[in-house]
Amino acid sequence: MQTTQNRTTGMRAFFGACVAALVLASAGSAHADALTNLEKPFTAALQGGSFAYALVLIFIAGVATSLTPCVYPMIAITVSVFGARNTKSRGEAAMLSTVFVLGIAALFAPLGLFAATTGGVFGAALASPIVLVGLAVLFLLLAASMFGAFDLDLPSGLKNRLAMVGGVGYKGAFFIGLSCALIAAPCTGPVLGFLLTWVGTTGNVVFGALALFVYALGLGLLFWLVGTFSVSLPKSGQWLEWVKSVFGIVMVVAAVYYLRDLIPGLMELAKHTSGFLTTSAVLLCAGIAIGAIHLTFHDHSVAARARKAVGLACSIVGLAGMVGYTQALPAGARIAWGDNYQAAMTRAKSEKKPLLVDFSASWCGACQELEHNTFSDPRIVREGERFIPVRVDLSPGKDSPEKRQILAGYAQRGLPLIVMHAPSGEAAARITSFVNPDDFLALMRKVH
């Protein structure tokens, strides 16, 4: 019995699709064959439940965060403060730089640990439309700040004080790393907020701490390179604002993602077809070409601001479409679920057929993994024709006291829960976690 699971396919798909889509867009390609070639290994990695792949994406997010205006300009100065450039050997410089990065991780890793240990709270909260709307509003505000509507920043005096904490040496490097994580908060906020919500839904303590540790490593990579090898970084410039625009686009799509169950018909718009994927990619590329990233709302030209707005709209729709593509199932890869539990129970008894009951919700990670990996298996779909299938959907906007009462009748509080009833009405199999297609099919074949 569990409300959240160690794997959160939906959130991983969202994060991964954002990264893959933006990489694709930057290459400027929208050819259908290229998209298909990209999609296959990408989808396979997501559906394989690979935490390693997720950690790679988190590391990339950390590196990208270090390229924002809150972090990038202070890299060279910070490295000089804790003395990495004044050491007698490269080995000592590497050690100092490593301790600095560990200082950053010392702030972020406990946050991941806390989010994971309170994962049940996250899972229950994500069933509430009020919480989902609140998260969406938060992400929209963060996106607005990325687009220049207002600035999120710490007072300059406080930033200078934090930057000088600890002095030189290993102790100084560690505490300066810790304080730099606070100085970077305005630009880490959007990514960090998303990551903490994602980690919270997994309920996996080890993965939660590791995910934020890896994020800290990505954030500290440029500091480490500059401190160890005295690398000269490109000067700050307009490209830093481009990075903020990219984050802003992702934040808006994140807001839409959280509202997907509360907007009628939104989930049905996405299709798992090459045509839909191509159209979404073209919109994303067109939006970037029009000006979603390289133009700014601070421009005095009305035409430039209008191009920025149109470009953002196209990019957001395109990226949201690519995320929706990863969530949609191919045609025919779906069990014909009913939604009336009592009617299904009555029909199963009268027709002397086995009953397949699935308690599911969009916020339940294992439920989504079952939907995409197990229930979409053609063998499961065929075997399901022998059953009377019914789904009790506890997603936001679809939950109800009556459905909760049905769930309580099975002495179950959390999700997932799948129960297979024999034609006699007796419960023949009960599943409370992710089960791969082979094992699930074996259980189905035993029910007669």
Long-range contacts of 240-244 (CB under 8 A, 24+ apart): 240/67, 240/68, 240/69, 240/72, 240/73, 241/69, 241/148, 241/296, 242/293, 242/294, 243/64, 243/67, 243/68, 243/69, 244/68, 244/69, 244/146, 244/147, 244/148, 244/187
Query: What pLDDT, on the 0 to 100 scale, is given for residue 233?
Result: 63
From start to end of 3-160, where are the E strands?
Answer: none
CB atoms within 10 A of CB 90: 11
- Tell me 73's DSSP state: G
Residues forming a β-bridge with 430: 419
Q: Which residue has the tokens 């067109």?
A: 286
Per-residue pLDDT of the chain (448 residues; tens, 9 = 90+): 444 343 344 444 455 545 545 544 444 333 333 333 333 333 343 344 456 777 888 898 888 888 876 677 667 666 665 655 566 677 878 888 898 889 888 888 887 777 667 655 555 565 567 877 887 887 788 788 888 877 655 455 544 554 455 455 677 778 877 777 766 665 676 577 667 766 765 566 777 788 889 999 999 998 888 888 876 666 667 777 887 888 889 889 888 887 877 787 777 788 888 899 999 999 999 999 999 999 989 888 999 999 999 999 999 999 999 888 877 777 666 788 999 999 999 999 999 999 999 999 877 767 877 888 889 888 999 999 999 999 999 887 788 889 989 998 998 867 889 999 999 999 999 998 888 899 999 999 999 8
Residues forming a β-bridge with 429: 420
Q: Is 31 exposed, middle or buried (0-12, 13-18, 19+ CB in 10 A)?
A: exposed
Q: Given CATH 3.40.30.10, say whether it is the number of domain 341-446.
A: yes
Closest by alpha carbon to 258, among 399, 116, 140?
140
Residue 135 to residue 259: CA distance in whole angstroms = 9
Contact status, residue 301 vs residue 309, Cβ threshold 8 Å: no
For residue 378, what are the CA distances in angstroms to 306, 332, 373?
48, 8, 11
From start to end of 268-387, where are the E strands?
Answer: 355-360
Tokens, residue 249: 């686009």
Query: What pLDDT, on the 0 to 100 scale, is given for residue 433?
Result: 82
Query: What pLDDT, on the 0 to 100 scale, is given for residue 426?
Result: 92
- Tell me 371's DSSP state: I
Element (H, E) at 428: strand 427-431
Q: β-strand 388-393 against 417-421: which pairing, if any? A: unpaired
Contact status, residue 129 vs residue 396, Cβ threshold 8 Å: yes
**CA atoms within 13 A of residue 394's CA, in its CB half-sphere:** 27
Domain assignments of the chain as residue spans, ordered by start: 9-327, 341-446
Query: What pLDDT, on the 0 to 100 scale, is given for residue 5?
Result: 40
